[in-house]
Amino acid sequence: MKNTRYLVVAAIAFLAGCGGGGGGGTTPAIATPTTAPSNAPTSTPTAWKQTATVKLSWKLPATQSSVKARKPQYVSASSAEVTTQVLSVNNGTPPSWVTPNPSTVALTVGSNCSVSSNIETCAITVPAPPGTVVYGFEVLDGSSPAKVLSETPAGGVSETIVQGQSNVLPPVNLEAVVANVEIGTFSTLAADTPSSQVSSVTALDADGNSLTTGNAVTFYNPFTISDGDATGATELLAGSGGCPPNVGTVTPSTSLTFSGDSGSGNSFTLCYTGLATGSATNQIALGLTLNGTAASFDTANGGGNGIIDTTISDITSSGTTYCDASVSCLATDPDYDQWSLFFDSTTAGSQLFSVSEPGWTDNPYDETITLTLDENATDSGYCGGAGSPVVTVNSVGSNGWSVSPQNTGYCEATLTENLPSGYGGVFPPHSSSSVSQIWFSVTNTSFSVNAKSRHGAAARKH
């Protein structure tokens, strides 16, 4: 079981007498100022080498059985050593006698650390040059190479060291270093079904321990969760509150930033309007930005990967006939197995048809379907355009059309959603039963009765 110690640190420094600088080993140096010091010693003193004893304290969580449990229960075993670096003295480079810099000290309960009332306190010796000293502290685990679990805020902490007297430093709060982020899983978003889903957000340290400790924790490196749905059908809200009551007024949010943990964990709410959304794969994706770069969500303990499946409804038509054997259509007909409008004469009256799609054309979404006519004159027949089209088509309402026969032949039209901005010109695929084309068939026939030609009987009865 991996464990952690976190992260609220109180530091009290006491001026020591002569003695060594303390600590063996180093970690990669924290960036130090380059401005020349104003009044710090520049050579090793002949009679003393000033040091201070610093007490670092943090609360110890209790044992937990699983990170996935999301409860503030941990043991303290991951924190193995602390690194101290003197970043600057009086706004300048530390004197050369401050060495080694940085220095690393092992943390051992019963030696330099003790535990009382679920609080662990460790006392270490650090260089203490007189003046205004900026320190950087890092708590590391015991791996090789060691991983940082917590550290001082960016820029370090400033302390005033007075030569020749005891120094009591104000508390220092270390901030948790986030290595991974785990979120919950999501149910499929079904078109025409507004919904809200709450997801937990668990920040993890480098050893996989949760940073939800039961106490307020500030993250050294805040992270951002972003909504990858650009269609405007979803919104991310911080916390577990409800979604806007009117699905038509959802305002898409681009991201949520998490800078710490109150001690009870973080969460966010995914609000979905029910508007058909997604991509060419019927999915939307949540993004994670950690340490300034894109990262993947941690799934080792059953967390979600941020990919959310979506479903959309099929387009259906009214006023059309399905062209198959039941209406005397032949397998060789261009419109076989398609929805069609049949005219048995070029002089027949107009016909009306309409289309609909739940989650798109209905209230409150009120989106439209586009009917694109085939205008390729090299086909067996074409709709619209110059010349002699098979039919003429006029819009009736938002998703209906009036069709009038003009010339014999077949022609087709394609149905697509009238995509708002954000869809990128790609709409999620429908099932095979969704209406994607409408065919128009105009047939004239003639036969003789009493040696007189009669016209207008349909070759196919529909």
Question: Which range among 78-82, 112-116, 189-193, 237-241 has the greatest average pLDDT?
Answer: 189-193
**pLDDT value of position 458:** 42
Helix (H) or strand (E) holding 28: none
**Same-domain status, 205 and 129:** no
Mean pLDDT comparison of 40-49, 187-196, 237-246, highest-scoring range: 187-196
Indicate if 348 and 426 belong to the same structural domain: yes
In terms of domains, do 232 and 357 share one? no
Query: Which of 99-108, 163-172, 220-229 has the lowest average pLDDT?
Result: 163-172
Q: Specify whether 278 is located in the same domain as 326.
A: no
User: Which CATH number belongs to the domain containing residue 444 in this structure?
Assistant: 2.60.40
* Percent of the chain surpassing pLDDT 90: 43
| 273 occurs within a structural domain | yes
pLDDT on residue 18: 34
Is 363 contained in some domain?
yes
Tell me the CA distances in angstroms from 277 to 102, 188, 336, 433, one per residue in order. 53, 12, 31, 19
Two tokens at 223? 């992270």
Nearest to 127 by CA among 87, 168, 172: 87
User: Tokens standing for 317?
Assistant: 């038509």
Domain residues for 19? 13-176
For residue 4, being part of any structural domain is answered with no
What is residue 16's three-state secondary structure? coil
> What's this model's pTM, rounded to 2 decimal places?
0.79
For the segment 40-55, the average pLDDT, to the nearest whole number, is 58
pLDDT value of residue 334 = 87
Residues 172 and 184 in one domain: no
Enclosing H/E stretch for 294: strand 293-295
59: buried, middle or exposed (CB in 10 Å: 19+, 13-18, 0-12)? middle
Q: Answer yes or no: do 156 and 267 share one domain.
A: no
Query: In this model, does residue 274 exceed pLDDT 70?
Result: yes
Indicate whether 112 and 150 sit together in one domain. yes
Whether the Cβ atoms of residue 137 and residue 56 lie closer than 8 Å to each other? yes
For residue 370, what pLDDT band results from cuts at 50, 70 and 90? Answer: very high
pLDDT at 286: 97
Q: Look-up: residue for tokens 């020591």?
A: 16
Say whether 141 sits in a helix, a strand or coil: coil
**Which of 145, 160, 176 is where one domain is finished?**
176
> Confidence band (pLDDT; 50, 70, 90) for 10?
very low
Q: How many beta carbons lie within 10 A of that of residue 459, not counting itself?
A: 10
Residue 124 near residue 82, CB atoms below 8 Å: yes
Give the count of domains, the chain: 3
- Looking at the fold, whether 40 and 130 belong to one and the same domain comes out as yes
Backbone angles phi, psi at 351, to 5 degrees: -125, 150
**Domain end position, chosen among 256, 279, 311:** 311
Residue 85 pLDDT greater than 50, yes or no? yes
Beta-bridge partners for 326: none
Q: Which amino acid is at 410?
A: Y
Tell which wins on pLDDT, 384 or 391. 391
- CATH value at residue 269: 2.60.40.10
pLDDT at residue 413 tops 90: yes
What local confidence, expressed as pLDDT, does residue 456 receive? Answer: 42
Domain boundary (285, 311, 337) is at: 311
Same domain, 287 and 326: no
Mean pLDDT over all residues of the chain? 80
- pLDDT band (50, 70, 90) for residue 252: confident
The token pair at 221 is 């490196």
Predicted local distance difference test score (pLDDT) of residue 65: 34
Whether residues 18 and 157 share a domain: the answer is: yes
> Are 360 and 237 part of one and the same domain?
no
Judgement on whether residues 30 and 152 belong to the same structural domain of the protein:
yes
More confident residue, 304 or 73: 304
